[in-house]
Structure 1
Amino acid sequence: MDISLGDELFNKISKGTKTVEVFLNDEQMKHFGVGDTLSIHRESNNEDVILTSAWSIKKCRTMTELYQRYTPEAIGMEPKELSGIYDSATVKKQGLLAVKMKVLKPNYE
């Protein structure tokens, strides 16, 4: 699976502080599982890539549950910031997936 992140979040993964990526629990994520590779591209330069492996996937019904399991540092943003990406009605309907990542290989200089 390929995703694109802004420079700030990309750098947090590169430094090892952001270890959890959050997704809606939707159809797109239905076949994503532990051991699968997540290619994270830098939004400002799509050729900068960090390859990660999903070593844990937890379902969370609410943002509150997500932040009870993981720190804002591990997620890479505060609850208010994440709420700006995923609105509460959608989260309530679909839930969230917290993918704990292990960096395999940064592919940039």
Structure 2
Amino acid sequence: MNHNMKLYDKPFQLIENGSKTIEVRLNDKKRQKVQAGDFIIFENIEKNQSIKVEVLKVIKYMSFQALLQAHSNKEIGMDEKMQLSQKLAQIYQIYNQTDEIHYGALALKIRVLSK
């Protein structure tokens, strides 16, 4: 199954160059449909670019904190020097904590197929 998701330029570029291998998302109803073996077409919302990736593994977490503690900064596309509190603050600019409590978090292990 194909899924479409949007990304800002920086995480898009990190996926494209192969350094970001985990996409962090809220485990909402749309993302609950994503399974290993599916494909995601990421659209760069800042530039006219898209990239197709294969979902290798879907890992569910109760919270973004648990997810961030389980994966390296490089895997999730964050600066190596960022502390947990900084990473959470960045995620909470996109997702709210009420939704996190309700849905949990999702780590999508991905690999690039084509641009």
Q: Does the pair score TM above 0.5?
A: yes
- Residue 26 of structure 1: aligned partner: 28
Match of 2:101 in 1: 92
What SS does the corresponding residue of 2:95 show, helix, strand or coil?
coil
Answer with 24-33 or 88-97: which moved more. Answer: 24-33
Kindly indicate whether the alpha-carbon contact (under 8 Å) linking 1:72 and 1:79 is maintained by their aligned counterparts in 2.
Answer: no
RMSD: 1.4
| AA matched with 1:27 | K
Gaps of 5+ in 2: 79-86
SS in structure 2 at match of 1:93: helix
Query: Separation in 1 of the partners of 2:73 and 2:94?
Result: 15
2:45 alignment counterpart: 43
Aligned to 1:81: 90
**Aligned-partner Cα distance in 1 for 2:31–2:8:** 21
CA distance in 1, matches of 2:28, 2:8: 22
The answer as to 2:68 corresponding to 1:72 is no
- Give 3-state SS (helix, strand or coil) of 1:27's partner: coil
On the 8 A contact 2:34/2:58 being kept in 1, the answer is no
TM-score, with normalisation over the residues of structure 2?
0.82
SS at the partner of 1:84?
Answer: coil
Higher strand share: 1
* Partner SS, residue 55 of structure 2: strand
Is the deviation greater in 54-63 or in 28-37?
A: 28-37
Percent identity over paired residues? 29
Q: 1:85 deviation in Å? A: 1.1
Structure 1 gap ranges (5+)? none
